[in-house]
Copies of this chain bind each other. A is one copy, B any other.
Amino acid sequence: GGCGQGCVAILGAAGFLGQRVAKVLAARGLRLRLADRFPVVDPPAGAEVVTGELLDTLEDVIAPDTTAVINLAAVVSAGAEADFALGYEVNLGGLRAQLERCRHLGTQPTFVFTSSLAVFGAVSAVDDETATMPQSSYGTQKALGELLVNDYSRRGFIDGRTLRLPTVSIRPGAPNAAASGFASAILREPLAGVRTNCPVGEELEIWLASPRTATAAIVHGFDLAQAELGSWTALNTPGITVTVRQMVDALRRAGGDSSLIAWKREPAVEAIVGSWPARFQTRRANSLGFPAADDLDLLVSTHVNEHVSH
């Protein structure tokens, strides 16, 4: 893993996790190339920024000096379900273009692919040997990516590793349209004194990671030596299983006003989120030294410290 003396390309660097990963790696003094179709706001000093569509900029982003690629760019769940062709074009076609570019470079860069719990079907509990039977186009595209990254690694074209991340909460910023958006909104909005709706029941279980936990998992995945991964390169990264009620209890402990949450169930959201597994075992990640996940109180207090004005 890692990048030696070369340049680390971060694809999707304008996103929330991309910005965090870039900061951590810049603090180590690594050379960074930050690529996104959107402008990267406030990039770390010295980082090169490439703005444009992936296929138009690919040869500049994954270049002969690129020793590592961190792939955080994707059409996300609701988008891939709403636009079938676009999801495959970006999430499969774009990934294949990146992998082919790496293969033709012939330099075997480290390649960190981020996957999702959406690769699993409606199973009650998940471990590192659970079959991927996705029930969405996004989950299908992530499962396709896991297989491709594994095969390109096995053939020696990349040093690949796939990290299946939990739902990330608390995401900063405005509410988004993702079915999992409430998992951030029911904490973030009341902490900012804003009303929100919880579309699911308080008994629902969710598999969560804080932004700090998810960032640490990506960076640790980047650092791993290929040999540690064995014959299969995908693994579940650490998270916590929590109920919505436990999340609201943590909100109250942090001084948030839980009466700002309305409880109007939305069957469409419940159907999607309720089909995701929430009980994960992360044995491989634990044995490979991935940092343990922040608990709920740390998850909330970190957000307050970073994003809530006092």
Contact = CB atoms under 8 A, between A and B. Distances in A.
Interface of A: 84, 103, 121-122, 129-135, 137, 140, 143-144, 147-148, 150-151, 154-155, 231-232
Contacts of A122: 231
Lowest 3 A-B CB distances belong to which pairs? A140-B151, A131-B131, A133-B232
A122 B121 CA distance: 23
Given A134-B151, A135-B154, 10 more contacts: A84-B103, A121-B232, A122-B231, A129-B131, A131-B131, A132-B147, A133-B150, A133-B232, A144-B147, A144-B148
9 contacts: A121-B232, A129-B131, A132-B132, A133-B232, A134-B150, A135-B154, A135-B231, A140-B148, A143-B147
Contacts of A144: 144, 147-148
A102 to B, nearest CB: 13
Nearest to A151: B140
A147 B151 contact: no
Contacts of A151: 134, 137, 140
Nearest to A233: B133
A84 B131 CA distance: 25
Nearest to A135: B231
B140 A150 contact: yes
Given A130-B131, A147-B144, A155 B84 contact: yes
A103 B144 CA distance: 19
Nearest to A157: B84
A134 B121 contact: no
A129 B130 CA distance: 8
Contacts of A150: 133-134, 140
B155 A121 contact: no
A232 B144 CA distance: 15
B121 A231 contact: yes
Nearest to A142: B147
A155 B151 CA distance: 27
